Amino acid sequence: MKTKILFIAILTCSITVMAQKQFDNPIQVNRNEGEMFDLRTLDWLNAFDSLHSIMQVRYPFTEWKGINWDQKFTQTQPKIQEAQTEFDVVKFTGAMLEYLYSIPDGHIAYFGDSLFKQTTQSGSFGLNILPISDGSIVVNIVPDSNAAYLTGIRCGDEIISWNGTPISELPEQKVYNSSCGTMEGKLLNRYQLLCRDSVGAMVDITFVSRETGNQHTVTLTAEADNFQLYDQSRFLTGYIPDPNNLVYHEILDNQVGYLRLLSELCPDGLTLDSIRKTDIYLAVKEAITDFNEQNIEKLVFDLRINNGGIPLLGSAISGFLLKHLCFGNIVQDQVLLTLPSLTRSLRYRNQPISMEK
């Protein structure tokens, strides 16, 4: 959770970043004390030059993430120039996505890419694939209602080649669909996008059946699916979370409690008393109370696909789980989760902090 955000909104024909003349005069906006830089009067090339200037000077993690800004500029500017000359929105958007999403930072966002996605990614080959620990690439989603399933492809089948090229030798994806803070996230996104193309595109896929061990080659055609399979693939083999159900809990077999938290969002500026009246906080409190009453022995606290939120709410929720202050501002509630023989271990800035019950 950040205390200061540099907000960069990029639209198809108007880029909201920073003009050179506005370098020291950003527009103040109420977005977690962020700054917005308006370049709508500039053409694409000058707007990109300005974007690059602000990223090079103000991006705080350049050294940590090993970003070579000069190299990125040299690679991207000719593509922006070509897009401007042809007035090609799709080329422009592709160049911007390549520039921004090659930065390993999950908090970089691009707005206004719908035409690019509809043109280049609106078709699905009817499956999704992902890498597993032994280095192979396997099918993890293949709905039984589409052509990929009818050709015989099943979950767990290993992909051998893609359009005749061994799957391990495919060139790295240049344009990604989202920012990825880790190499693992980037790898997953790479294979998500490999399974998509423009509607009508065709691909030859060679795979080995998990059931029979036999090798097959099939030809698939990308079909429009309103991005449904892509949305599903973002959650690997799991379900698509319900945005209206941000907190969920249940008691699994063997007295194991399960608590899923998708967000710590609430209105900014609330006091602690007000935080404790929010729906998310009360739902977590209800779950902890239920766990205590049912004498659970273990807890699975599921923070996958968590969107973050307000630091004070996160601190207040931590107070259900931690008896002692270990870092930050953890606000303890009167209700504290009690588990038998529990050793809680946290890691902060690579320094382990442990405490007994």
Q: How far apart are CA 54 and CA 261, in angstroms?
A: 35
Q: How far apart are CA 355 and CA 357, in angstroms?
A: 7
Output the CA–CA distances (angstroms, integers) from residue 262 to 248, 336, 341, in the order listed: 9, 21, 28
Pairing type for strands 298-302 and 256-261 reads parallel
Query: Do 296 and 347 reside in the same domain of the chain?
Result: yes
Q: Which of 256, 304, 136 lies closest to 207, judged by CA?
A: 136
Residue 150 has pLDDT above 70, yes or no: yes
Q: For 291-346, how does the pLDDT look when each residue is reduced to its tens digit (9 = 90+)?
A: 999 999 899 998 877 888 898 899 889 888 876 655 455 555 556 666 554 333 33
Q: For 193-209, how does the pLDDT look when each residue is reduced to its tens digit (9 = 90+)?
A: 999 999 999 999 999 99
Residue 158, in any domain of the structure: yes
Write the CATH number for 204. 2.30.42.10
Share of the chain above pLDDT 90, in %: 54
Query: Do 151 and 114 reside in the same domain of the chain?
Result: no
Question: DSSP string covering 274-337, please?
Answer: HHTTSHHHHHHHHHHHHHHHTT-SEEEEE-TT---B-HHHHHHHHTTT-SS--SS-----S---
Last residue of a domain, one of 72, 88, 119: 119
Residue 192 amino acid letter:
Q
Q: For 51-107, how does the pLDDT look when each residue is reduced to its tens digit (9 = 90+)?
A: 999 999 999 999 999 999 999 999 999 999 999 999 999 999 999 999 999 899 888
Mean pLDDT (the chain) is 82
Q: How far apart are CA 190 and CA 84, in angstroms?
A: 27
Backbone torsion region of residue 135, taken as left when φ is above 0, otherwise alpha when ψ lies between -120 and 50, otherwise beta: left
| Chain position carrying tokens 């809680």 | 344
Query: Do 104 and 130 reside in the same domain of the chain?
Result: no
Residue 242, in any domain of the structure: no
Between 11 and 349, the more confident residue is: 11
Residue 41, in any domain of the structure: yes
Residue 3, in any domain of the structure: no
Query: Do 139 and 199 reside in the same domain of the chain?
Result: yes
Residue 268 confidence class, pLDDT cut points 50, 70, 90: confident
Residue 350 confidence class, pLDDT cut points 50, 70, 90: very low
Residue 213 has pLDDT above 70, yes or no: yes
Between 179 and 149, the more confident residue is: 149
The number of angstroms, rounded, from the C-alpha of 14 to the middle of its chain's C-alpha atoms is: 25
Last residue of a domain, one of 65, 94, 119: 119
Q: Where are the alpha helices (DSSP H) in the chain?
A: 44-58, 62-65, 69-86, 89-101, 114-120, 147-150, 183-194, 228-233, 272-275, 279-293, 311-318
CB 63 within 8 A of CB 27: no
Query: Do 269 and 336 reside in the same domain of the chain?
Result: yes
Number of separate domains in the chain: 3
Give residue 297's pLDDT: 85
Q: Which of 11, 19, 6 lies closest to 46, judged by CA?
A: 19
Residue 152 confidence class, pLDDT cut points 50, 70, 90: very high
19: tokens are 């003009």
Give residue 7's pLDDT: 44
Give residue 35's pLDDT: 74
Residue 221 has pLDDT above 70, yes or no: yes
Last residue of a domain, one of 233, 264, 291: 233
Between 187 and 44, the more confident residue is: 44
Give residue 61's pLDDT: 93
Residue 16 amino acid letter:
T
Query: Do 275 and 330 reside in the same domain of the chain?
Result: yes
Q: How far apart are CA 113 and CA 111, in angstroms?
A: 6
Output the CA–CA distances (angstroms, integers) from residue 182 to 64, 105, 189, in the order listed: 13, 8, 11
Residue 355 has pLDDT above 80, yes or no: no
User: Which whole number is the average pLDDT over 125-148?
Assistant: 93
Residue 12 confidence class, pLDDT cut points 50, 70, 90: very low
Residue 2, in any domain of the structure: no
What residues make up the domain containing 269?
A: 247-356
Give residue 23's pLDDT: 46
Pairing type for strands 128-131 and 165-166 reads unpaired
Query: Do 188 and 252 reside in the same domain of the chain?
Result: no
pTM, whole model, 2 decimals? 0.69
Residue 132 has pLDDT above 50, yes or no: yes
54: tokens are 């602000």
